[in-house]
Every structure is written in C-alpha cells, then in structure tokens.
Amino acid sequence: MKKKSEISMMKWARDLFPFNRSLTGKGNVKTLSYIKSINKNFKILYTNSGKKVFDWKIPNEWEVKKAYFEDTNKKKYCDFTKHNLHLVGYSQPFSKTLSFNKLKKKIYTDKKNPDAIPYVTSYYKKDWGFCMKYKNFKKLKKKEKFKVLIDSKIFKGKMHYSEMLIKGKSKKEILIVSYICHPSMANNELSGPLIVMALSKLLKKSKYSVRLLLVPETIGAIDYIKKKERHLKKNLIAGFNLTCIGDSGPFTLISSKEENTYADKVAYRILSKTKKFKKLSFLKRGSNERQFGCQNMNLPFVTICRSRFLDFKEYHTSNDNLKMINEKNLNLSLKYIFNIISEIQKNKIYVKRQNCEPFFSKYNLIRKTRGGKKPNLTEIKISDIVAYAGANYDEKELVKKINITKENLTYLLNKLKKFKILKELL
C-alpha cells in the first residue's frame, strides 16, 4: 500500500482533465480505464441503453468526432477539439449553413462570467448547441453566414460505471460515492473521483466493508440503487457522496433529510473540528444525496464538499479548471474523509435482539419488587441504553446522549450482551 506522500492526485487530475465525460461515451470509458490502471481492483460495469430503472430509462450512448462552426473565411469557432465544453452535451448531429440570427439561438454564453465557457447539456431532449465565452460571442459578425458542423452520433449502447469493494470482517458496509459525468471541470468533477482513487490505495481491510462507487450523477445513482436496493437497505452503515472537494473552501456537510442518521453524526463529529465548518440542510441538496438519502430510500447518506456546488462563481464553467484544485487541498480533504471512515471502523454500534422493552427483572438488571421509590441511576441508564441502541448510535453517541461515562457504558453494554439483549451490528 502506498503512503499518502506517494500519491499524486494532481498528476491523475492532469491526465483525466481532457476526457469528454458525460452520462455515457468513450470519455467515461477512458476515465474508468485510467482509474482501473491506478487500482486494478476497480470493476468496470455497465447497464444497457433503454433499460427502465424506476421512473427513468438508461440513455442512449453519445459519441462526438468533431464539432465547430466557421465563417466564410474558414475561421473556426467553438471547436470541440480545443475545449469539450464548447459543445452542448448530447448534441445531435447537424450540418447546415445558418445566418447569425438563426445561429445565435443555439449559442449559450454567461454574461456574468464573460471570460468563461458555460457548461450546458441536453441529455433528455433532442437538440444541439454551442457554448462560448460571452466576450467572443460579441465579436461575431452579425451579417455573416456560418457553416455549422456537428459530427456526433447517439445510439443504443451502454452506460458505464465502476466500483471497488474492500471486504471487511462484516458484510455491513460504508459507501463512498462520486461521479464521472462532467467534461473538463476540476473541482466539480474530478475532485471527488481523485479522493476515491486515493482511498483505494490507502484503505486496508477492517471491521466493516468499504465500497467505492463512481457513477454518472443522478441516472447512475438511480440505476445502482435499482440493482442494489435490498443490499443497501440491509447492509449500509453510512454513505458519503463526495463533490467539489478540491478547493480551499470550508468543509461543508449537506445533511440527510432528517439530519440525524449515523452518516450525519459521524461526518459532523469529524468535520466540525475544521475551520469555518458549514452544516447545511437537505434543502441545499443537489447531488447524489437526492437519490440515496431520499425518495423512499432514506438511507444514512450525506454529501461532503468544500465550496458547495452553485456557491462558487467558477461552477459549471471552463473557469473550473486545474487551477481550482491543488495537492494541498486534496490531501486535506483526503485526510478528513479517511478519518471519517476510520471513526466508523473503530467504534461499535449495538442493536436490540428483540422488539419492545426486555423483561429486565428476569435478568436481575432491575429490582423485582417495585413501588414508591424512583428507579436507581443504574436502572435508568440500562433502560436508556436499550432504548437508544440502534444503527444511528455508536458508543460515542450513546455516551453523549444518555450522559454516561465511557467506562460505565462499557460495563453495562457487556452485561446486556451477556444476556443477549443487545448485539454488535456486524
């Protein structure tokens, strides 16, 4: 296993940055093949186009050879080979000469960021278009005619994704998720997979299994849940979506819907120690926490980022380039994600072996003769431990919740285990 100092995430970033990632296509396959070259234990998997997954369908595959428009002097604009953000994602093939007035309806710019190419997609609507810097758009000649060429194809193919399982002593697992569906953007796209790749080199076999998952955002998560719904509901201890985690912004936790899952508690426990930490409501959601943590799944799942998506001006533009991330920031993010996983691995969670309150007096855990006097402190603590024991409370959470010392908790837990009232979640 490599040490952190031997991992160069920025080297990986420079290699991966140019690939034209989308929901499907060669850019995704190249990305996943590169990740597999870093760790051969990643499996590259796929789902066929057209497959129904809940309320969605897996999209057709998209492939681009070239795309641009040119004026009568053969000067090219929005050349896809120069920057893949120049082409609207999933653009249909198109070849025709258009007037400026007709072409401008298919050109996207961002007046607030005139030096940036915006990122625009049309995944589920048949369309085409170009994206360019607003300052360059203003220079186009309004009386000119432009020859448009988009050499692309959309066809029945595959949507690829990748996962790696680090088997633990238990089948219960920690899930780390990021996405591989954005073209050349660094913080919003690459930072999450870079951390996942680094984790794959650092994590060792431990108590719980750890699953590393890289999917196209939204549709990839929905497809994965469709395949693994029963497994996830049975085995997931805590899940974490990683996005926008390579810049210098404060660590930010986007909470689960109810804000009280084990993933919420452990992430808060570790990240709240960082400077300017932010805890946001599920109302601020926007990534794969929408799928795993909501919509009848209600899994213990949160998102962790630095500057939240939508909250930095470079978001979804060409200005989210390799200058947005660096080795120092990535390593700090890696450290805290690694610490969250380690925190879960080293703490025990206890669950009840039966429904309703146990018959405590049968085990001589409370007085058999009652009346008049209040229960003593030990009786109260035993009752509280059993009441709160469950998937959302490890030992540290129980200490805090029921106001008990670690030593006393351990003593009482051992008693409850002896009588088979509680068992460790394994």
Per-residue model confidence as pLDDT tens for the chain (426 residues): 345 556 899 999 999 999 999 999 999 999 999 999 999 999 999 999 999 999 999 999 999 999 999 999 999 999 999 999 999 999 999 999 999 999 999 999 999 999 999 999 999 999 999 999 999 999 999 999 999 999 999 999 999 999 999 999 999 999 999 999 999 999 999 999 999 999 999 999 999 999 999 999 999 999 999 999 999 999 999 999 999 999 999 999 999 999 999 999 999 999 999 999 999 999 999 999 999 988 888 899 999 999 999 999 999 999 999 999 999 999 999 999 999 999 999 999 999 998 999 999 888 887 665 665 677 888 899 999 999 999 999 999 999 999 999 999 999 999 999 999 999 999
Within this chain, do residues 266 and 339 fall inside the same structural domain, yes or no? yes
- Report how many domains make up the chain: 3
Within this chain, do residues 232 and 162 fall inside the same structural domain, yes or no? yes
d(CA 326, CA 331): 9
Range of the domain at 28: 4-59+158-346
Within this chain, do residues 354 and 208 fall inside the same structural domain, yes or no? no
**155, 173, 206 — which closes off a domain?**
155
- What does the pLDDT read at residue 376? 80
Within this chain, do residues 29 and 117 fall inside the same structural domain, yes or no? no
Within this chain, do residues 308 and 340 fall inside the same structural domain, yes or no? yes
Q: How many CA atoms lie within 13 A of 304 on its CB side?
A: 31
Within this chain, do residues 208 and 302 fall inside the same structural domain, yes or no? yes
18 and 82 Cβ atoms separated by less than 8 Å: no
Within this chain, do residues 384 and 270 fall inside the same structural domain, yes or no? no
pTM of the model: 0.94
**327, 346, 365 — which closes off a domain?**
346
SS3 content of the chain, % helix, strand, coil (to 5): 35, 25, 40
**328, 346, 364 — which closes off a domain?**
346
242 and 288 Cβ atoms separated by less than 8 Å: no
Q: Is 420 exposed, middle or buried (0-12, 13-18, 19+ CB in 10 A)?
A: exposed
CATH classification of the domain holding 233:
3.40.630.10
Within this chain, do residues 100 and 187 fall inside the same structural domain, yes or no? no
- What does the pLDDT read at residue 5? 54
- What does the pLDDT read at residue 372? 58
Within this chain, do residues 52 and 178 fall inside the same structural domain, yes or no? yes
Within this chain, do residues 54 and 66 fall inside the same structural domain, yes or no? no
Within this chain, do residues 44 and 164 fall inside the same structural domain, yes or no? yes
CATH classification of the domain holding 82:
3.50.30.90
Within this chain, do residues 334 and 259 fall inside the same structural domain, yes or no? yes
Residue 3's contacts (CB-CB under 8 Å, 6 or more residues apart) are none
Written as one letter, the residue type at 226 is K
